[in-house]
Amino acid sequence: MKRIFPVLVIVFFLFQDPGYAQVVIENHDLRLVLGNNGHAESLIHKATGQECLASGVDLPAFTVKQYRPYDNETQLTYVTRPTVFPANAVTRQGDTLRVGFEHLDYIAVISVKTGDHYIAFQPEYFIKKEKKLGVKAETRVDEMTFLQLPVKDREHFGSWLNVSWDGQVAVNLLGTDVHTRVDDVTGKGYHILRAATVKDIRLTGTGAALIVTSTDRLLDDVAQVEKDYHLPPGVASRRDPKYAWSYYECRDVNPGNIDEHIRYARMGGFRMMVIYYPSFARSMGHFPWRREYADGMEDLKYVTKKIRDAGMIPGFHIHYNKAQINDPYVTPMPDPRLNLRKIFTLAGAVDDKATVIPVEENPQGITLFEGRRLLKIGDEIIEYTGYTDQQPYRFTGCKRGVLHTKAAAYGKGYKFGLMDVDNWPIFIRFDQRTSIQDEVAEKIADFVKEAGFRFIYFDGAEDVNRPYWYNVSLSMERVYDQLDPQPLFSEGACKAHFNWHILSRGNAFDTFKPEEIKEAVDKRHLGAAAYNADNFTCVDFGWIGYTPPGERTIGIQPDMIAYIASHAAGWDSPLSLVGDLGNLGSHPRTPDNLAVLKRWQEAGRAGFFTDEQKTELKKARKEFVLLKDGQGNFELHECHQIKNIAGNDPHIRAFIFRKKDHTWVEYWHTSGESSLILKTSLSHVRLYDGAGKKVKIKKSTDGILIPAGGIRYLDVDLPEKEVEELFKKAIVQDN
């Protein structure tokens, strides 16, 4: 008898009708009860006796999906569409479950591994039930849900880790390898935790672990699963003492300027420095060396050694799943393993000069964006300007042999495709079904091993072909598995269930303009921080783009730095700064900006912030100033900005707060030096510089004259409202 799919084992026997006992699966922590109809009835956390399943939700624990009904009589009866067949029977035989499904003539065999603190489920094979009517060919399984449970909602739900938890109990359904599709469905008062397999990925031999435990030991149990199934050590990474360290990302770093980058990194209190690969490579893919790295790897090793000798961890910011359009993977001979988004068939022969390309398929809906209109036919790349979406279908305005490829003639019926150009658009994505990702992973691993990188940023993680839930993790795993040593921790640009083990720190956001950076923190970083915290992960409160003042911007200012750093501290999260030497050197407030960064980082590493303070630091639109007293102890004060200073002068920024029953003002000039005339008496005020040293105040005919340049602190023995009025009525005097 012909096999329709290889995992189907043809064994004929009579599957028993319902009437047997419930199936109970338990370990030290949990008891799962399945009805003999294959539906989940109970999930108990033994230590507390809590029922973890939502009441009143009748849900099959197992289902099979066919993309259309395949059985001859079934397809003659039901409509052609994806169809889900629920479980209708389950028995346990030793360490396996035997699951039957409505209308299907086979039984799924699922192995059950009972550990002390998790229970693992893994589809193994299918067996054929005895036929009662006619002779039929076996029908395929397209997808199988091999466990789904309606878990009642708790205070937190982490959709990345797939865990529902509160202060007492956590329920987690965790994939045990990259091929398992793990997700959830939101119900009213519950989430369905689901683990499934897909035939086009891997139907059997891949699984998931069910954990029901006290929340304080959840990560211990996840770590055990990681160990038993040889997964990346995401738990150990999150528990590393360096986990919350922030980083300075070098831009255009080379052996000639690494010392200057290190100087700025130290000024900001950073203990990690990250190198972005364009600093040393002309393109992504083959990574040809830039001229600044005339000695290649030796020069890169020199740079990373400098970082280590400065007491900092070197990190590596990479793209890894696509090739730059100037890379040998693309030009002059495009690699056949580059991804094609859509395949076309020539409707007629074309010569090497044709500017119209006739095709059989309708191009409707494909991209017309500049830079993304690329077709790969043979070893040639063609750029089109338009197409017809009515017959006869054609690509029009074609430019032949672009990106230094060679134009050629092609016969009718020739197959070719739309290149998978990313959104920038300067990269072509890899086909993750091929070996190209492994090939590039080896190159990246060489850089990591030789240069000694200990942190990895997986940028562009979304740039993969479908299915995204699988290839986002798979492409990353293919790189991660090559790394020796494995990174202390990693960040990345796209989350999928399995890469929780790899991306032990959440992503950074792209840079924002100084004028919108506080709003961006409120709208982007804080939401991401809460989401990541539900998944036992921090988020990177970066990247901070270091923009100097100019005609169109006030530039990044100390209060903006403090806003980012304070909210990061509230979430025990790192931040990252883009270190551009030109911008750092041209910004008059760089010493102040970096001093603010350093102070917040030092306070975090010292464990200064209490839980109550962190609760306040997490709140949107709240601002704080962090100081050191004369004994070097940290002080945290909530503050707010004084608006409309000196008739709305744009160059003076000031923030007011209370300290020891006095009113204090932190103020500075955004881009230079000037003075402020305040209409008050010398007896009311004292002035200090950023280091806490007292500064002499001059008298003026209208009051007092105070310098405005770098950060200074004014201690005023007056109520807040009066001090605000002093600044609003101040007069700016140019130096």
Which CATH code is given to the segment(s) 642-734? 2.60.40
Phi, psi angles (nearest 5°) of residue 15: -80, 125
| Dihedral in degrees, nearest 10, Cα atoms 179, 181, 182, 186 | 170
Phi-psi region for residue 84, left (φ > 0), alpha (ψ -120 to 50) or beta? beta
What are the distances in angstroms from CA 582 to CA 260, 551, 570? Answer: 11, 17, 31
When pLDDT is cut at 50, 70 and 90, the band that residue 95 belongs to is: very high
Q: What is the pLDDT of residues 494-536, one digit of tens each?
A: 999 999 999 999 999 999 999 999 999 999 999 999 999 999 9
Domain spans of the chain, in order of start? 8-231, 247-323+438-500, 340-419, 514-618, 642-734
Q: Residues of 372-388 as b/e, b for ≥16 C-beta within 10 angstroms?
A: bbbbbbbebbbbbeebb
Mean per-residue pLDDT for 572-598?
98
338 — phi, psi (to 5°)?
-70, 145
DSSP annotation string for 574-620: --EEEE-HHHHHH-TTHHHHHHHHHHHHHHHHTT---HHHHHHHTST
Q: What gap in Å lies between CA 579 and CA 263, rounded to an integer?
A: 11
φ, ψ for residue 446, nearest 5 deg: -65, -45
- For 255-307, the pLDDT digits (tens) are 999 999 999 999 999 999 999 999 999 999 999 999 999 999 999 999 999 99
Kindly report, residue by residue over 210-245, the tens digit of the pLDDT: 999 999 999 999 999 999 999 999 999 999 999 999
**Which CATH code fits 8-231?**
2.70.98
Per-residue pLDDT of 668-698, as tens digits, reads 999 999 999 999 999 889 999 988 899 999 9
pLDDT for the residue 735 = 75
pLDDT at 145 over 70: yes
State residue 726's pLDDT score. Answer: 96
Fold match, 8-231 / 642-734: no
pTM of the model: 0.93
pLDDT of residue 132: 58
Nearest Cα residue to 684 out of 660, 714, 711:
714
Task: Specify the pLDDT at position 133.
Answer: 57
CATH number for the segment(s) 247-323+438-500? 3.20.20.70
- What's the CA gap between 375 and 196, in Å, rounded? 36
φ, ψ dihedrals at 325, nearest 5°: -65, -15
The count of other CB atoms within 10 Å of the CB of residue 271 is 18
Q: What is the mean pLDDT of the chain?
A: 94
Query: For residue 131, what pLDDT band results from cuts at 50, 70 and 90?
Result: low
CA pair distance 372, 334, nearest whole angstrom: 15
Please report the pLDDT score of residue 135 as a whole number.
59
DSSP state of 498: G
pLDDT digits (tens, 9 = 90+) for 4-55: 333 333 333 334 444 447 999 999 999 999 999 999 999 999 999 999 999 9
Q: Based on the number of CB atoms within 10 Å of its own CB, is 410 exposed (0-12), middle (13-18) or buried (19 or more)?
A: buried
Question: By C-alpha distance, which of 532, 453, 465 is closest to 495?
Answer: 532
Runs of H (alpha helix) within 268-420: 297-309
Is there a contact between 208 and 111 (Cβ–Cβ < 8 Å)? no
Locus of tokens 């997964």:
231
Q: Which of 17-21, 269-273, 704-708, 714-718 is predicted with the least confidence, judged by mean pLDDT?
A: 17-21
Question: Cis omega (within 30 of 0) on the bond before 332?
Answer: yes
Look up tokens 């050191």; give the residue: 628
Please tell me what DSSP assigns to residue 293: G
Residue 2 in this model has a pLDDT that exceeds 60: no
Return all residues near 42 (Cβ < 8 A) that are at least 6 apart: 31, 32, 33, 51, 53
pLDDT of residue 77: 85
Q: In the chain, helix, strand, coil percent, each to 5?
A: 20, 35, 45
365-393 confidence digits (pLDDT tens): 999 999 999 999 999 999 999 999 999 99
Mean pLDDT of 693-709: 92
The answer to whether 226 and 233 are in contact (CB under 8 A) is yes
Cβ-Cβ contacts under 8 Å for 455 (sequence gap 6 or more): 247, 272, 274, 313, 314, 315, 316, 487, 488, 489, 490, 491
For position 117, what pLDDT does the model report? 95
Backbone angles phi, psi at 138, to 5 degrees: -65, 145
Task: Name the percent of the chain lying above pLDDT 70.
Answer: 96
Instruction: Let me know: does 67 contact 142? Beta carbons within 8 Å.
Output: yes
Q: Hey, is 241 helix, strand or coil?
A: coil
Note the pLDDT of residue 631.
Answer: 87
